Amino acid sequence: MALAYLVPALVVFGVFIFWPLVKSVLLSVQGTDILGNPSGFVGLVNYAKLFSDADFLTVLWVTFAFTILTVVPSIAIALFIALLLQTRIRGVRFFRTAFALPFAFSVATASVIFGVLYNPASGVLNGILSHLGVDKVHWLTDPDLALWSVSGATVWMQIGYNLLVISAGLGALPEDVLEAARLDGASGLRLQRSIVMPLITPQLFFLVVVGTIHSLQSFGQIRILTVGGPEGRTTTLVYSIYEQAFANNNSNYGYASAQAMVLLLIVLIITAVQFGVLERRVFYR
Amino acid sequence: MRSRRSGNLATYLVLGLVFLVVLFPVYYGLVGSFMGERDTNSFPPALWPVHGLQPDNYSSALRIIPLGSQYLTSVGQTLGIMVGQLVTSILAAYAFVFLPLRWRGFWFAVFLSTMMIPFESIIIPNYLLISSLGLKDTIAGLTLPFLATGFGTFLLRQSFLSFPMELRDAARVDGAGHFRFLSSILVPLSRPSLAALGIWSALSAWNMYFWPLLATEDPKHQTIQIGISQLQSSDGDSPGMVLAGVMLALFPTLLLVIFGQRFIVRGLTTGAVK
């Protein structure tokens, strides 16, 4: 009887999560004909191909670099802003709302705006740099720069959410502990470093995990800003799945599914680490 | 006193600087959407509308892509997902908290596991399924995979767990059955949590990009998010018009974030994944 209340959700999960999961595994051990139909069992051939494919190793490296370049700065910047907003000054409410605005942006709206800003011929970024005597920078087409530019846009998209999480943590700090520290003469940086920071490690740790998983899933900004280029220098794992399966009618579902399983495995490992090992150490209060 | 005041001044200076940098894309998106090509396409480009405002950008954006019908598609997709998630999550959370559920731990683990599977890793079979059902370019195709959510169930479960049991017992004594209690007492009293879930669902549905890109082909049936990214590639020479499209797509979520912030915070840390 009680199960009836779970059925609507379970049906959706079954049809659109669990069955596709099984199907993904099945697709990943099959070949694909030119029409995109599975062409029979091939065992682990797709997986073996993955790790001998130099392009795929580059994809993993780009994904790793992109994750580091987005997670670390977006948390650091949000933390910096959140601590500034902790000071008791007028207008904090206004700043708080304003800094949360990036949170309203979708990956598409933010990416399109950054595309305009990054435009080498008429973009505002190069416009500002020209006043400093810097030549036109090719933000999205310079192979050494593109990943940094896409990461920059992604950091911006993440700041709002990170700020909300850190601010919520700071707002819930136990006032008595802070007061005791102040009475003992701790103030300014000392108070931040020795009292506040340790107390918000749960939030920071949460953001590292969520941010990493979120970065691993990034797609829209790459598709809109660089289409994976130049020379594949911004092709992350999810973009590579898209490219193999859907771009230019490739329909290479078998190989793409093997890549999708790599993505799943990475996310599962991160989640396991979160639940198992680190969480106990972080929540020491 | 004196050092405190100069400390405040320094804080304002740093805060103001960070404010300018972080909010510049918001500013430029808005102001740029009213700027003509004489401002945006010169070099260095103008930072404000030197040659006057050009509201025509908005009508040109609407002319070049079917933004009107795309807006409707986005609204339909968003409402569908929001209502669907609210209904399935309310029912499931109710069972987890108030009903004698057999194998509760197992079902709980099932719901939990859905939050650990990134949709991108199962997007190929979902695409094949939706296309084989002939649901491409339909609201059903855009919404069906997202009608239930582990995140939403946990959010509501947390809220239901703190529901006063005396009230439930009183309702039972008065002869209210499960469904009656659920619909006329629990739901009205849980409005803040339901608002939190509703806003989260709406934000993520409206802002979706990857799935609508696959699930639609006909520009008329695409969502606004896909529309504006198309706008950019179809006419890179008039940034003002492109930004006007962005502002149209942004408007509803901007309102949600400004006025719904306290509800958003409520859902922030529920469910570590997704």
Has residue B199 got a pLDDT over 50? yes
Residue B268 pLDDT exceeds 80: no
Q: pLDDT higher for B89 or A285?
A: B89
Give the chain A residue whose CA is nearest to the CA of B5. A89
Kindly report, residue by residue over A64-111, the tens digit of the pLDDT. Answer: 999 999 999 999 999 999 988 887 778 888 888 889 899 899 999 999
Which residue has 């510049």 as its token pair? B24
pLDDT of A159 > 50? The answer is yes
A78 in a structural domain? yes
In angstroms, the separation between the Cα of residue A176 and the nearest Cα of chain B is 23
CB of A163 within 8 A of CB of A200? no
In whole angstroms, what separates CA B9 from the centre of its chain?
37
- ipTM entry: 0.91
Domain harbouring A177, CATH code? 1.10.3720.10
Q: What is the pLDDT of residue A278?
A: 58
Identify the three-state secondary structure at position A150.
helix
DSSP label of A248: G
**CB B119, CB B186: distance < 8 Å:** no
Residue A141 lies in a domain: no
Number of Cβ pairs < 8 A linking chain A and chain B: 267
Residue of B nearest to A115 (CA): B232
The parent domain of residue A170 ranges over: 39-104+149-282
Looking at beta carbons, which residues of chain A come within 8 Å of B21?
none
pLDDT band, residue A176 (cuts 50/70/90): confident
How far apart, in whole angstroms, are the C-alpha atoms of residue B170 and residue B167?
5
pLDDT class of B274 with cuts at 50, 70, 90: very low
CA dist., res. B262 & res. A7, Å (int)? 31
Cβ-nearest to B214 among A11, A216, A246? A246
| pLDDT over 70 (residue A284) | no
CA B265 to chain A, closest CA, distance in angstroms equals 7
DSSP helix/strand/coil, A31:
strand
CA distances to A13, A155, A218, B63, B110 from A209, in Å: 24, 15, 14, 43, 21
Nearest chain A residue to B123 by CA distance is A20
Angle, vertex CA B157, rays to CA B155 and CA B159, nearest 5: 75
Cβ atoms of A256 and A245 within 8 Å: the answer is: yes
Give the model's pLDDT for residue B271: 44
Tokens of B25: 């894309």
Give the start-end residues of each E strand in A196-259: none
Beta bridge partners, B53, equal B35
Peptide bond preceding B44 in cis form (omega within 30 of 0): yes
HEC sequence for chain B: CHHHHHHHHHHHHHHHHHHHHHHHHHHHHHHHCCECHHHHCCCCCCCCCCCCECCHHHHHHHHHCCHHHHHHHHHHHHHHHHHHHHHHHHHHHHHHHHCCCCCHHHHHHHHHHHCCCCHHHHHHHHHHHHHHCCCCCCHHHHHHHHCCCHHHHHHHHHHHHCCCHHHHHHHHHCCCCHHHHHHHHHHHHCHHHHHHHHHHHHHHHHHCCHHHHHHCCCHHHCCHHHHHHHHHHHCCCCHHHHHHHHHHHHHHHHHHHHHCHHHHHHCCCCCCCC
Token pair 């409410």 in the structure block, residue: A93
Per the CB < 8 A criterion, the answer to whether B232 and B249 are in contact is no
Residue A134 forms part of a structural domain? no
Q: Mean pLDDT over residues A155-182, rounded?
A: 87
Q: What is the mean pLDDT of chain B?
A: 89
Q: Choose the mutation target among A93, A113, A238 for the interface with B, i.e. most B CBs under 10 Å.
A: A113
Please answer whether residues A159 and A81 qualify as being in contact, where contact means their C-beta atoms are separated by less than 8 angstroms.
yes
Residues 6+ apart with CB under 8 A from A277: none
Q: Residue B141 has what pLDDT?
A: 97
pLDDT of A281 above 60: no
Residues A206/A79, Cβ–Cβ less than 8 Å: no
Mean pLDDT calculated for residue range B61-66: 85
Encoded tokens for B168: 């439930």
Cα A14 to Cα B129: distance, rounded to the nearest angstrom = 13
Is the residue at A195 inside a domain? yes
Indicate yes or no: CB of A206 within 8 angstroms of CB of B228.
no
User: Per the structure, how many domains does chain A have?
Assistant: 1
In a domain, A113, yes or no: no
Q: Above 90 in pLDDT, residue B273?
A: no
- CB of A273 within 8 Å of a chain B CB? The answer is no
pLDDT at B235 over 70: no
Residue A273 or residue B26, greater confidence: B26
* Cβ <8 Å between B206 and A130: no
SS3 A85: coil
User: What band does A279 get if pLDDT is binned at 50, 70 and 90?
Assistant: low
3-state secondary structure of A41: strand
Please indicate, yes or no, if residue A130 is contained in any of the structural domains.
no
Q: Which of B83, B103, B122, B199 to mutate to test the interface with A (most CBs of A within 10 A)?
A: B122
Residue from A16, A135, A165 to probe the interface with B (highest B Cβ count within 10 Å): A16
pLDDT digits (tens, 9 = 90+) for A133-151: 888 899 999 999 999 999 9
Chain B residues touching A218 at Cβ < 8 A: none
B85 or B268: which leads in pLDDT: B85
Place of tokens 């001044």: B9
Tokens coding A32? 């694909």
Start-to-end C-alpha separation, chain A = 41
| DSSP three-state, residue A208 | helix
Between CA B91 and CA A23 the distance in angstroms is 28
Query: Across residues B119-127, what is the average pLDDT?
Result: 96
B101–A3 CB contact, under 8 Å: yes
Q: B251 CB contacts (<8 Å, ≥6 apart)? A: none
Rounded to whole angstroms, the Cα distance separating A13 from B114 reads 7
CA distances from B233 to A145, A166, A234, B236, B244 (A): 21, 37, 19, 6, 14
Closest residue in B to A103 (Cα–Cα): B257
CA distance A120 to chain B (A): 10
Among the CATH numbers 1.10.3720.10, 2.40.110.10, 3.30.1330.40, 3.40.190.80, which is that of B75-227+253-266? 1.10.3720.10
Task: Please report, for chain B, the start and end positions of each structural domain, with discontinuous segments joined by +.
Answer: 75-227+253-266
